[in-house]
Structure 1
Amino acid sequence: MTNVTGRATTSADADTWTVATAKAHFSAVLARARTHGPQLITRNGQAAAVIVATEEWERKTRRSGSLADFFAASPLRGVPELVLDRRQDRPPEGVV
């Protein structure tokens, strides 16, 4: 269903736009992403993309540490010797 502006609406998610409407009202889509959260863009009735505010994107994609930090915090760190036995019932993947 679309409202008067052509913006797709549903009872569960009022922040859904068709591609055509999002293109025609791009500034409004950006403004709503900053003030109301993620904006879903649909194409042919299917979810195609989501526009989010820069602050939210950075918060969701921020790394909390490096890979070295991850391994340093491992509960297995300091185990004298970790022995992993390979399965004998089939060859390793990629070996013919």
Structure 2
Amino acid sequence: MATWQVQEAKTRFSELMEEADAQGPQIITRHGSERAVLLSITDYRALTAIQTDFKSYLLGGPKTDSFEATRDQDTGRKVRL
């Protein structure tokens, strides 16, 4: 992924868009830290196409139907009172 400083991205925005379309995501930095990513519309639609609702997300987790928890029978240490 290419990295652009915010000033450079502002002045060369058309080129930035073309690079995102041809080369993939472009990272935009401010003061040396990554702040934003410019994606092509194709990449964006691919990311947002796979959406599930919250209920499906929760129900899609690992199955625990046959989950067994065993408890340690240790009673702990003796304490003087």
**TM-score normalised by structure 2 residue count:** 0.63
- Where structure 1 has 5 or more consecutive residues not aligned to the other structure, the ranges are 1-12, 80-96
* From 35, 59, 74, the counterpart of 2:46: 59
CA RMSD across the alignment: 2.3
**Greater length-normalized contact order (CA 8 Å, ≥ 6 residues apart):** 2
- Where structure 2 has 5 or more consecutive residues not aligned to the other structure, the ranges are 66-81
**Percent identical across equivalent pairs?**
31
* From 14, 18, 31, the counterpart of 1:27: 14
How many pairs are equivalent?
A: 62
Instruction: Pick the structure with greater CA Rg.
Output: 2
State the SS of the aligned residue for 2:44.
helix
Alignment deviations for residues 55-92 of structure 1 (CA, whole Å, 9 cap, x no partner): 10110111355567x38x8697xx8xxxxxxxxxxxxx
Which one has the bigger helix percentage?
2
**TM-score normalised by structure 1 residue count:** 0.54
2: distance between equivalents of 1:50 and 1:64?
20
